[in-house]
């Protein structure tokens, strides 16, 4: 109800204007209108509410009824106006704290507080439902005679039943459902979620069944197209029993889509719910199979979602019911092998390569002309690149619309993220004999390391220190020979064990290690001159030479140790076996990195072992959910 008063106000020009003074919803608005020099709007808020004192607030929260009664009696007139900073009345606070005796007392004294709302438009029933206090909820419901109050909504559109389900208070939800009107389970909030949707999402089968039993009209479910899909919620909860209950009520619900335009099959494929997809395809074969050919808003079909997330079993299930879905292309004209390669799903790639008997998927090109090998290379999925390059039917020479082969893309990767994966990807292509394309790579797409020698700076320092240490150790070993020197003529100063074979091996490899380390040091010194081409060539020379120096030093060590313990054959043989095994492992681990070049036939199979070990060490997070 509003009251309006009018009065005349004189302006500076002597004219008269009409003023309206309105009072509505606890505020007075004074508005001056007319041909005046200014217009003023003044709002004066009435003190309908008052912030309660800390003592009263503490008494309610602590459940101290005696202290609360004493303070209320001191000022009983204004007690209904007391609120905290969030607009909660005494009843809200008592209900949130779970003090039934305080709630009983406040309701008996001030029954109007039952309908009072806080700043979120929540009644005490909302607050009690959030706290999960069944006794207080039952008390408030018994006191309320109007069903509209029980189903009152907050500013987010939540009823007390919504809140109980969000907070997972099953007993409170069951009770509210039993005392509410039949269709309360289908009231949607501002987010489009109904209590039934929340119960399905929580996986509460009993509550879902009870809600559907109280359904006044079976067509009610069909009218919920504007709300969140119940089938998607059941898929997210991964509950086949709830999925069956819902679809038996209305099988057409499988046609609904979520906010991203995904059908239940696309959504299930994305989260890997194999059992749900299998159930839908089996029980609703005709209508569900048609959904295999429905794309989402991003242009992905259900089988693409399964490939993207790495779910092999789901792909097999789709192909069992819809064999031709393997031919589907997304909005980028990418087949499922493109999608799996792009996201690095190695198990899916392996399966699809075995499936692709006609060899169309493995060499198919998308809108940009990229094959699965191009996409795997671009995203540094070294395991996938390795799998593809070992398949003889994958064409390594295919160029995309930019004129680049997969090797061109690997060499054009500019950023320094995932450097080891980038290197392993490049190694897989080079070892398979992948060529560069006929078109030169533009300078703006080439790695900055080719034009900026500073990129090599840290690597040069590491190599320089290592080469210097090797040179120092081998130089020292050359004058502290195993077995020492002869001290009598005619062989004074000669090595005591010079006639032993192991000594000759020691000298040979020690000298080789010394020479290689010295050449490495000189090459790295030349690399400091700043010339980009010279820097690159020096790096390519220094790295393999340093590897030879390290291997030679290890061989010299093995020969020297077995020489000095040769009087104990068992110890000599044991040391030799241990050192040799670790030497071979080290050689296989380092050589593929230092000497990456085209290797065919038997040699490529030999070097595959250490390369595969490095792939396992690096790992690939994208394959963590392959199934």
Q: What is the pLDDT of residue 517?
A: 93
Residue 32: inside a domain: yes
Where is the domain boundary, 11, 30, 45?
Answer: 45
Residues 143 and 114 sit within 8 Å (Cβ to Cβ): yes
**Helix, strand or coil, per DSSP, at residue 22:** strand
Does the residue 528 lie in any domain?
yes
Domain contains 141: no
pLDDT for position 614: 72
In a domain, 165, yes or no: no
- The domain total for the chain is 2
Domain-located, residue 567 = yes
Residue 56 near residue 73, CB atoms below 8 Å: no
Find how far residue 398's CA is from the centre of its chain: 33
Mean pLDDT in runs of 10 for the chain (627 residues)? 38 38 34 35 46 84 83 68 89 92 89 90 94 93 71 91 94 90 83 91 91 70 68 93 90 88 94 95 88 94 96 96 94 96 95 89 94 94 92 93 91 71 85 83 51 63 90 89 78 79 90 93 82 77 87 88 84 83 72 58 67 70 54
346-355 and 336-343 helices, crossing angle to 10° = 150
Q: Which two tokens stand for residue 29?
A: 């608005």
DSSP string, 554-615: HHHHHHHHHHHTTTSHHHHHHHHHHHHHHHHHHHHHHHHHHS-----THHHHHHHHHHHHHH
In a domain, 627, yes or no: no
Q: Helix or strand or coil: residue 27?
A: strand
Under 8 Å CB-to-CB from 360, ≥6 apart: which residues? none
Predicted TM-score of the model (pTM):
0.73
Instruction: For residue 154, tell me if it sits in a domain.
Output: no
Does residue 272 contact residue 309 with C-beta atoms inside 8 Å?
A: yes
> What is the predicted pLDDT for the residue at 232?
93
Cα separation, 553 vs 301, whole angstroms: 58
Which structural domain, as residue segments, surrounds residue 22? 3-45
> Which pairing describes strands 3-10 and 16-24: parallel, antiparallel, or unpaired?
antiparallel
- pLDDT attached to residue 65: 85
């Amino acid at each position: 109800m509003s009251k309006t008063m009018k009065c005349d106000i004189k302006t500076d020009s002597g004219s008269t204007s009409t003023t309206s003074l309105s009072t509505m919803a606890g505020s007075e608005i004074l508005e001056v209108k007319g041909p005046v020099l200014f217009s003023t709007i003044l709002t004066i808020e009435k003190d309908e509410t008052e912030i309660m004192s800390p003592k009263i607030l503490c008494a309610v929260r602590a459940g101290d009824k005696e202290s609360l009664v004493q303070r209320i009696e001191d000022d009983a007139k204004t007690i209904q106006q007391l609120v905290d900073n969030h607009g909660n009345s005494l009843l809200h606070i008592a209900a949130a704290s779970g003090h039934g005796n305080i709630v009983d007392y406040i309701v008996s004294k001030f029954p109007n507080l039952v309908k009072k709302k806080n700043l979120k438009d929540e009644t005490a029933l909302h607050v009690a439902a959030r706290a999960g206090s069944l006794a207080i909820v039952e008390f408030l419901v018994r006191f309320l005679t109007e069903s509209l109050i029980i189903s009152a909504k907050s500013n987010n559109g939540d009823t007390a039943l919504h809140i109980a389900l969000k907070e997972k208070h099953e007993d409170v939800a069951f009770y509210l459902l039993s005392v509410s009107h039949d269709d309360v389970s289908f009231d949607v909030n501002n987010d489009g979620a109904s209590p039934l949707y929340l119960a399905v999402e929580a996986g509460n089968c009993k509550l879902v069944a009870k809600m559907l039993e109280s359904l006044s009209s079976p067509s009610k479910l069909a009218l919920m197209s504007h709300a969140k899909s119940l089938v998607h919620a059941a898929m997210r909860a991964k509950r086949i029993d709830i999925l069956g209950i819902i679809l038996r009520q209305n099988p057409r619900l499988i046609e609904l889509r979520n906010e991203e335009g995904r059908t239940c099959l696309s959504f299930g494929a994305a989260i890997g719910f194999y059992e749900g997809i299998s159930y839908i395809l089996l029980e609703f074969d005709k209508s569900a199979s048609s959904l295999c050919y429905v794309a989402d808003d991003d242009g992905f079909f259900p089988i693409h979602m399964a490939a993207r997330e790495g779910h092999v079993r789901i792909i097999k299930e789709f192909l069992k019911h819809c064999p031709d879905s393997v031919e589907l292309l997304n909005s980028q004209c990418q087949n499922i092998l493109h999608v799996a390669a792009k996201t690095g799903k190695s198990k899916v790639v392996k399966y699809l390569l075995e499936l692709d008997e006609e060899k169309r998927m493995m060499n198919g090109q998308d809108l940009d002309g990229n094959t699965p090998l191009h996409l795997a290379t671009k995203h540094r999925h070294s395991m996938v690149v390795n799998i593809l390059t070992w398949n003889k039917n994958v064409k390594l020479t295919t160029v995309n619309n930019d004129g680049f082969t997969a090797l061109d893309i690997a060499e054009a990767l500019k950023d320094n993220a995932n450097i080891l994966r980038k290197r392993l990807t490049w190694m897989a292509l080079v070892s398979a004999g992948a060529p560069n394309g006929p078109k030169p790579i533009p300078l703006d797409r080439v790695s900055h390391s080719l034009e900026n020698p500073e990129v090599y700076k840290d690597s040069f320092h590491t190599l320089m220190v290592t080469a210097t240490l090797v040179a120092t150790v081998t130089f020292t070993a050359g004058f502290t020979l195993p077995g020492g020197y002869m001290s009598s003529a005619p062989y004074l100063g000669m090595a005591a064990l010079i006639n032993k074979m192991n000594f000759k091996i020691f000298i040979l490899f020690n000298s080789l290690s010394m020479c290689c380390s010295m050449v490495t040091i000189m090459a790295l010194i030349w690399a400091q001159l700043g010339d980009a081409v010279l820097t690159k060539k020096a790096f390519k020379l220094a790295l393999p030479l340093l590897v030879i120096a390290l291997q030679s030093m290890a061989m010299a060590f093995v020969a020297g140790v077995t020489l000095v313990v040769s009087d104990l054959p068992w110890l000599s043989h044991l040391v030799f076996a241990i050192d040799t095994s670790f030497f071979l492992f080290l050689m296989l681990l380092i050589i593929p990195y230092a000497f990456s070049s085209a290797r065919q036939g038997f040699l490529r199979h030999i070097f595959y072992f250490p390369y595969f070990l490095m792939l396992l060490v690096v790992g690939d997070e994208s394959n963590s959910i392959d199934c």
